[in-house]
Amino acid sequence: MKKRFQDLTSLDFYSNKKQVKWIVVAASLIIGAGSIWYTNSLVEELRERERRQIELLSSALEYAATTMENLTFINQEIIQQNYSIPIIMVDALGKPIEYRNIPFKKNADGADSLKTLESELVEMRSEYEPILLPDADILVYYRNSELLINLKYYPYIQLGVILIFGLLAYALFNQSKIAEQNRVWAGLTKETAHQLGTPIASLMAWIDYLRNSPVWEENKEIITEMDKDVVKLRMVTERFSSIGSKPVIQSGNVYETIEETINYLRPRISTKVDLNIHADAKDLDAMMNKPLFEWVIENICKNAVDAMKGKGKIDIEILQDSDKFVIIDITDTGKGMEKNMYRRVFNPGFSTRQRGWGLGLTLAKRIVEGYHGGKIFVKQSEVGKGTTFRILLHGSQEGASQFITEGILEY
């Protein structure tokens, strides 16, 4: 027993959340089906009890008729004792002579009451066969009591209320969980930026020292590249500082931003990877935060390089979809993926590499959709041939402003 409990507590619910969801759904269906079955059993038992009660009433009426008892006694001592089951007694011509528990309209006159009785008779005839009192030549019609009807539909109403409550509770819990994750995410990134600040400042000072030292001329190229890396580190620090804060979204040239990122990446990735940019026009602008958007391009390209194992081709195509959006398609010649992985690649921790953290695409999605109000998704992919990621950015201030106004930028 102890071992089973340890196995349960050590279960990775996040990695197996799909299976856990199906288990919860299956358990809910079993509980719901059991509740409905049990209630239906009670309904059948109550229906049979009411049937026996009506038969008993009919037998009493028949006995009273054969012993020449008057109908006043029958009405007071037998019919009036029924407080739940609607019944109507009719003569040989089908005319109501006695009734009980019939819901009449308030302030109804004789004509309205007669219509109500006729309507009730139609319903009663559709539910049960009448009971005949042959000696009195009387038919007794009846239908289910309100209690029985309510009990019949109660489990469905109950399950509906529980379902609505469960969905609301799940939505609130999910929002709370997301808010907590965002706070942790923002806190970690800001702390990382803070910790990187001191060594970066020190590295910048050392590079300035090397520029003014006798080794400058001999190692000029190396020191220049070191300076680029330090500048990049400072930019990364600024990016981390931006996480959790409302970024400045402004119009920027998409082609130039991507070109700068690619120029930085080229000498730092495999020389066997061919990086190309194609654009409808080089003057296409979109609403963006430049440092954060460069981060997105870097992460997608680095993932592509890993997918191609350092050898292949990456094509970046910039398209003008309309006045509302600018499209960026990033296509690689990597190993591709199955269709069921299209959404999963953006989940935190999902990685096809043994040493991968699975955060690159998660971060890209957060930046594009959370901060820019755009969209990022897998446009197409084929196993063994490659993958195309599509990014949509707002092409106007109006679209981005509407997005910010709607309160989506709360990461």
Return the higher-pLDDT residue of 114 and 300. 300
Q: Indicate the pTM of the whole model.
A: 0.53
CA distance 236 to 218: 29
Contacts of residue 290, Cβ cutoff 8 Å, sequence gap at least 6: 252, 257
pLDDT at 407 over 50: no
Q: Are strands 273-279 and 312-320 parallel, antiparallel or unpaired?
A: parallel
**Percent share of the chain, pLDDT over 90:** 17
> What average pLDDT score do residues 280-296 get?
89
pLDDT at 221 over 70: yes
Across the chain, mean pLDDT equals: 78
Return the higher-pLDDT residue of 247 and 364. 364
Whole-number pLDDT of residue 8: 45
pLDDT at 329 over 90: yes
Place of tokens 């910039």: 318
pLDDT at 64 over 90: no
Please give the DSSP secondary-structure letter assigned to residue 366: I
35: confidence class by pLDDT, cuts 50, 70, 90: confident
User: In this structure, what token pair is assigned to residue 160?
Assistant: 């509906």
Give tens-digit pLDDT for 257-287: 999 999 888 888 888 999 999 998 888 899 9
Taking CA atoms, 225 is separated from 201, 219, 220, 221, 305, in Å, by 17, 10, 9, 6, 22
Whole-number pLDDT of residue 392: 94
Whole-number pLDDT of residue 60: 64
pLDDT at 403 over 60: no
Give tens-digit pLDDT for 150-194: 777 777 777 788 788 878 887 887 787 777 776 776 777 777 777
CA distance 249 to 371: 8
pLDDT at 379 over 80: yes
Whole-number pLDDT of residue 47: 75
Out of 95-99, 201-205, 295-299, pick the least confident. 95-99
> What average pLDDT score do residues 128-152 get?
75
pLDDT at 253 over 90: yes
Taken in order 260, 368, 249, 196, the sign of the CA dihedral is negative
User: In this structure, what token pair is assigned to residue 211?
Assistant: 């520029």
CA distance 329 to 321: 12
> What average pLDDT score do residues 114-120 get?
81
User: In this structure, what token pair is assigned to residue 90?
Assistant: 């009719």
Helix ranges (DSSP H) in 212-289:
220-242, 254-265
**80 near 101, Cβ under 8 Å?**
no
Highest mean pLDDT among 15-29, 145-159, 177-191, 356-370: 356-370
Return the higher-pLDDT residue of 215 and 4. 215
pLDDT at 72 over 80: no
